[in-house]
Amino acid sequence: MEVRTTWAHPVIRRQKRAGLGLWTGLVVLLIALILLGREHGFGPADFAQFAVDGLQAGAIYALVGLGFVVVYRVTGVINFAQGGFVMLGPMLTVTFLGQRTTAEALQLLLSILRAVLLTGLVGLLTYGIALRLRRTALPLTRIMITVGVYLILQGAALLIWGPRPQVLPAFTTLSMQDRLLVVGEVVVRAQTLWIWACAVTLLGLLAAFFEFTLLGKAMRACAINRTAARLVGIPADAMAALAFMLAALLGACAGIAVGPVTRPTFDMGLEIGLKGFVAAVMGGLVDIRGSVVGGLILGVVETLWAGVTRAGFRDVIAFLVLILLLLFRPLVPLSEEA
Amino acid sequence: MERPLPALAVFTLLVLLAGGLEVVRPFGRSLAGLTGGLLTLDTLIRTGLLTIVLVGLNLLMGYAGQVSLGQAAFYGMGAFWSAILTVRGPVLGLSPSLVQAWWWPWLVMLLGAALVGTFAYGVGWVILRLRGHYLAMATLGLGITVYILLRENLGLPHLNLTGGFDGVFGIPRLRLGPYPVWPAERYYFLVWLVALLVIALGLRVVDSRVGRALRAIHGAEGAAESVGIPAAAYKAQIFGLSAALAALGGSLYAHFQAAVVPATFGFVPSLELVVMASVGGLRSIWGAPVGALTVLVLGDFVRTWMRGLLPTMAGEVEGILFGFLLILVLLFWPSGIAGRRRAAEVVL
């Protein structure tokens, strides 16, 4: 409980009313989509299926969004390279597995661990090399630098892994074919359960980290006031680097969890990263709870939209929501920003 | 910069010289032969096309200080507008004799620029309320939305207007009465004529009341408004202008390439434009041709080199080059090649 209050930025509370209109809008959209779906002859079972698929996608967006929130709160940078981290996770796992489509449980676990740690290192380097050099630069310059990092990651992935989708074995069966659980008329992949479990565990760990460890508390102090934190002896720079590493770890885990479902490709980071960003913006870019709820809602709305209208338009909704969000939800400015 | 006319004259001479070289071919050597394959006519035409787009982007980003990460969308809107109206006319119920007329593509081109400009002007009123990060993200969202619409046939699969992933091909060459503006040497002169006019326009805008107002908005929007500059109107106008220029460039691109595919106008191309603008110098109209040429030549060079290194390589390997270029320029050379040092810190 404490986590929520300490992470809620004071400005958010004042802006709750403004955000209310937005949430109402989303709920109206949801109801409209459901009504439209009924018109097209979708039954309750179809909607349950949409909900399961939507919550699966939403959990991923929420995790990716958390990466944005952690970096933004501690450093004031929107980290565009987040999508690149999400892509690196599953790609590295595939490589560590030796490109095989089946694997031993232990082998998979070890590969995942190594991939996640390596991605974390990349996150650390991203900050250490690209952003530290021009700490004084305007926020926009720094965001462009992270765009450059994303391009490098994507280009490097294309060079290393080529343009074809890779295959990551499902966690339950340890092969390409995933087990399907049928509940009533709804089909749930075993991997979906893994994704949810992964999201809940990571959220819990993150909350515990910020609440109970000294390091986490130091990072929170930096998020609240960087100068004051530095005055009491917290190395703000190291905390910023750590934030980037945390974001990379979260991104890598999200990418690996969803890997068996979507088949990782070198350019998967852009779309998933942007949707994670949309989730983060729903929480005003600073609110963990808001961005988790935002991610889940985005996933459900998007899946419903794709089911009710046409599949190819699936991606449009996220970006329309993004533009509307940016326009109507007043965002929380960080005190450090000019 | 203080004396734009002599610079413009020198630049025009350079353009004529390069074009003349290609037409006359002294001692049987083409431009590509003289420069060891580094500078081809194709590259120069592309430079001209991108110059048209980048002048608009420089006005928007360098002078008015408004970021656009979706500029390729406007480029694509122009290209597809021309492609659809010249190739798919019959589907839209246009009479064949109209579509066949030599002046039809020219009219379409101008209409397209005007329409896209108006569209961007309208959108600009809304999204230019955002600042910094958020504007960047909103333009990015806009760009990707347009790209998806192009890819998905605008949601009208039965008409097959944009051709989906495959795009539109068989776009006719431009004609002036009975004379085709083709082969490529002729097209070179057309593209650069337009590009030079656009550069001249850009230089005029920068050195006018509007240009000073834009710089004031960039420096401090609140202060600019307090002395009576209607910032919102100016921002929307310059956004519209930059989009119209991008659409014009896109139309010319469509008639040059004779085929357009949506992938040319996605996210990486939008960033490519930003990289070109930053390399050339955001706060300089001359940064447009300089940046376009530098990045194109570097890209060609890297692509050839990578192909030699990894013969099986496919896809946009030059993305990695853009990433490095962007970071290096931002870190160590924020003024860009053509920009002046003094203005450097204000940019971005």
Chain B residues close to A331, C-beta within 8 Å: 134
Residue burial B228-248, b: 16+ Cβ < 10 Å; e: rest: ebebeebbbbbbbbbbbbbbb
B319: its two tokens: 């993305």
Cα–Cα dist B24/B18, whole Å? 10
When scoring B273, B318, B331, B345 by the number of chain A Cβ atoms within 10 A, the one with the most, hence best to mutate, is: B331
Q: How far apart are the first and last CA of chain B?
A: 20
Q: How confident is the model at residue A310 (pLDDT cuts 50, 70, 90)?
A: low
User: Is residue A8 predicted with pLDDT exceeding 60?
Assistant: no
Closest CA to B77 of B125, B52, B113, B122: B113
pLDDT attached to residue B342: 52
DSSP conformational letter for B156: -
Q: Which of B132, B137, B314 sits opposite A163 (nearest CB)?
A: B314
List CB contacts of A276: < 8 A, sequence separation 6 or more. Answer: A60, A61, A62, A63, A64, A65, A67, A68, A82, A83, A86, A251, A254, A295
DSSP conformational letter for A332: P
Closest CA to B278 of B70, B136, B67: B67
Cα–Cα dist B138/A154, whole Å? 22
Which structural domain, as residue segments, surrounds residue B229? 4-346
Cα–Cα dist A134/B334, whole Å? 11
Q: Is B273 left (phi over 0), alpha (psi -120 to 50) or beta?
A: alpha
SS3 at position A64 = helix
Phi, psi angles (nearest 5°) of residue B261: -125, 150
List CB contacts of A119: < 8 A, sequence separation 6 or more. Answer: A85, A88, A89, A92, A248, A249, A251, A252
Cα–Cα dist B140/B70, whole Å? 5
Alpha helix ranges (H) inside B66-183: 71-87, 96-100, 104-127, 132-151
Q: How confident is the model at residue A100 (pLDDT cuts 50, 70, 90)?
A: confident
Residues in chain B with pLDDT < 50? 1, 343-348
How far apart, in Å, are the Cα atoms of B215 and each of A141, B69, B199, B283?
18, 20, 18, 10
Q: How confident is the model at residue A249 (pLDDT cuts 50, 70, 90)?
A: very high
User: Is residue A312 predicted with pLDDT exceeding 90?
Assistant: no
A241: its two tokens: 């680097």
> How big is the CA angle at A83 (ends A78 and A89), to the nearest 5 degrees?
130
DSSP conformational letter for A186: E
Chain B residues close to A274, C-beta within 8 Å: 140-141, 144
Phi, psi angles (nearest 5°) of residue B11: -65, -40
User: Is residue A14 predicted with pLDDT exceeding 50?
Assistant: no
B221: its two tokens: 């929007």
Cα–Cα dist B23/A69, whole Å? 58
List CB contacts of B8: < 8 A, sequence separation 6 or more. Answer: B196, B199, B200, B203
A140: its two tokens: 């926009």
The chain A residue lying nearest B133, using CA atoms, is: A140
Cα–Cα dist B254/A185, whole Å? 50
List CB contacts of B12: < 8 A, sequence separation 6 or more. Answer: B196
pLDDT in tens, A265-300: 988 988 899 889 888 887 777 778 888 988 998 898
CB atoms within 10 A of CB A234: 19
CA distance, residue A4 to nearest chain B CA (Å): 25
Cα–Cα dist B199/B8, whole Å? 8
Q: In total, how many domains does chain B have?
A: 1
Cα–Cα dist A316/A294, whole Å? 17
pLDDT attached to residue A6: 44
Q: With residue A5 as reference, give the H or E element that holds it.
A: helix A2-7
Q: Are A304 and A30 in contact (CB under 8 A)?
A: yes
Cα–Cα dist B163/B154, whole Å? 10
What residue type is A7 in one-letter code? W
CA dihedral A192→A197→A200→A203, nearest 10 degrees, is -100
Is the reported ipTM for this assembly greater than 0.85?
no
Cα–Cα dist B15/B303, whole Å? 26
B238: its two tokens: 């310059």
When scoring B326, B329, B345 by the number of chain A Cβ atoms within 10 A, the one with the most, hence best to mutate, is: B326
What residue type is B27 in one-letter code? F
Give, to the nearest 10 degrees, the angle between helix B231-257 and helix B184-206. 170
The tokens 């039965």 sit on which residue? Answer: B158
Q: With residue A177 as reference, give the H or E element that holds it.
A: none
CA distance, residue B70 to nearest chain A CA (Å): 12
* Mean pLDDT over the full length of chain A: 82
pLDDT in tens, A137-165: 666 677 788 888 998 999 899 888 888 89
How much is the average pLDDT of A18-27?
A: 67
B118: its two tokens: 């108006």
Instruction: Verify whether the Cβ–Cβ distance B152 to A313 is below 8 Å.
Output: yes
Kindly list the residues of chain A whose beta carbon comes within 8 Å of any beta carbon in chain B: 78, 130, 133-134, 137-141, 143-145, 147-156, 158-159, 162-163, 270, 274, 277, 281, 310, 312-313, 315-316, 319-320, 322-323, 326-327, 331
pLDDT attached to residue B3: 64
Cα–Cα dist B174/B103, whole Å? 9
Chain A residues close to B132, C-beta within 8 Å: 139-140
Q: How confident is the model at residue A98 (pLDDT cuts 50, 70, 90)?
A: confident
Q: Are B253 and B75 in contact (CB under 8 A)?
A: yes
What pairing do the DSSP bridges indicate for beta strands B179-180 and B175-176?
A: antiparallel
Chain B residues close to A163, C-beta within 8 Å: 314-315
User: Is residue A17 predicted with pLDDT exceeding 80?
Assistant: no
pLDDT in tens, B158-208: 788 888 888 898 899 998 888 888 888 889 999 999 999 999 999 999 989
A216: its two tokens: 């986490």
Chain B residues close to A315, C-beta within 8 Å: 144, 148
Higher pLDDT, A255 or A30: A255
pLDDT attached to residue A332: 46
List CB contacts of A123: < 8 A, sequence separation 6 or more. Answer: A81, A85, A244, A245, A246, A247, A248, A249, A251
A144: its two tokens: 């462009």
User: Is residue A90 predicted with pLDDT exceeding 90?
Assistant: yes
B186: its two tokens: 């002729």
Q: Are B330 and A134 in contact (CB under 8 A)?
A: yes
Instruction: Verify whether the Cβ–Cβ distance B323 to A148 is below 8 Å.
Output: yes
What residue type is A122 in one-letter code? V
CA distance, residue A234 to nearest chain B CA (Å): 27
Q: Are B195 and B46 in contact (CB under 8 A)?
A: no
Look up the CATH number of the domain holding residue B253: 1.10.3470
pLDDT in tens, B89-99: 888 888 888 88
Cα–Cα dist A156/B35, whole Å? 30
% of residues, chain A, pLDDT over 70: 86
How many CA atoms within 13 Å lie on the side-chain side of B185?
12
Instruction: Verify whether the Cβ–Cβ distance A158 to B141 is below 8 Å.
Output: no
| DSSP character string of A247-300 | HHHHHHHHHHHHHHHH---TTHHHHHHHHHHHHHHHTTTT-HHHHHHHHHHHHH
Instruction: Verify whether the Cβ–Cβ distance B145 to A274 is below 8 Å.
Output: no
- Beta-bridged to residue B168, according to DSSP, are B260
What pairing do the DSSP bridges indicate for beta strands B259-260 and B168-169?
A: antiparallel
Q: Are A297 and A58 in contact (CB under 8 A)?
A: yes
pLDDT attached to residue A203: 93
pLDDT in tens, A43-63: 888 888 889 999 999 999 999
Cα–Cα dist B82/B84, whole Å? 6
Record the pTM: 0.84
